[in-house]
Every structure is written in structure tokens, then in C-alpha cells.
Amino acid sequence: GFDVHGDYEVLAALRRAHPTPLRPQDLADRVMISAPGMTGRLDRLEKRGLITRAPHPTDRRSTFIEVTAAGIQLADQTFHSLVDEASRLLNGFPSARRRRLTQELRELLTILGDTP
């Protein structure tokens, strides 16, 4: 199956980097997991046809990981599902509180390096 909390993180990182492939270590650093944990996730994603591995052009000890079209589609669908779920949860809040929360989340994302 697809682990939304683990596999999605990897697909989302590759989706954000696309079309630039990433080395496994760079990917592990971006999603803050160990190299052995990353290997297992990459194995699962590759078996499902969501990523490809290619030899690094200059470093024989490394590979490049790239998201496939199917991986992009699944990452986008999962993202939209997560946004829809968050919207449903937030609908229970009064509108003024939702606006404050939205602003605080934007500020947090900016601090974390995301751009609005």
C-alpha cells in the first residue's frame, strides 16, 4: 500500500524537485529520514512505478532518483486529498479564527523556506 506519511513525503519532495533528479542522500536529508529508511521507501515506490533510479553520471557509488508521470499524478492527488481533508476540519472553526490560522500557517511555511 501507499503510506501517506512516509511514501508521500518522498514523492512530494521529488515532485517539488521535478524535473531535477535527486540523489538518495539529498532526498533523505529533505524528508529527514535515515538512509536505510529511504532505501525501503524507494524500493516500494520503484516497484509501483512511481519513481525511477538511474546511475549518477559522475559518481559510480550513487544514483539519481526521479519521479515518474504516475508518481506525479499520485503526489498531486494525495496533496489535493490532504488539502480537502484539512478544509473539512477547518470548516468547524469560525471564519475569523480560520483567517488567523491561515496567516500563522503561511508564516510558518515561510520560516521553513516555502514561498507563498
Q: Is the pLDDT of residue 107 over 70?
A: yes
- The model's confidence at residue 59, banded by pLDDT at 50, 70 and 90, is confident
| 20, pLDDT greater than 90 | yes
pTM: 0.76
Residue 102 is predicted with a pLDDT of: 83
Angle, vertex CA 63, rays to CA 16 and CA 60, nearest 5: 150
**Contact 99/87 with Cβ under 8 angstroms?**
no
pLDDT in tens, 24-55: 999 999 888 888 889 989 999 999 999 999 99
Tell me what the mean pLDDT of segment 102-110 comes to.
Answer: 84
List the grid coordinates of 116: 507563498
Residue 112 has pLDDT above 80, yes or no: no
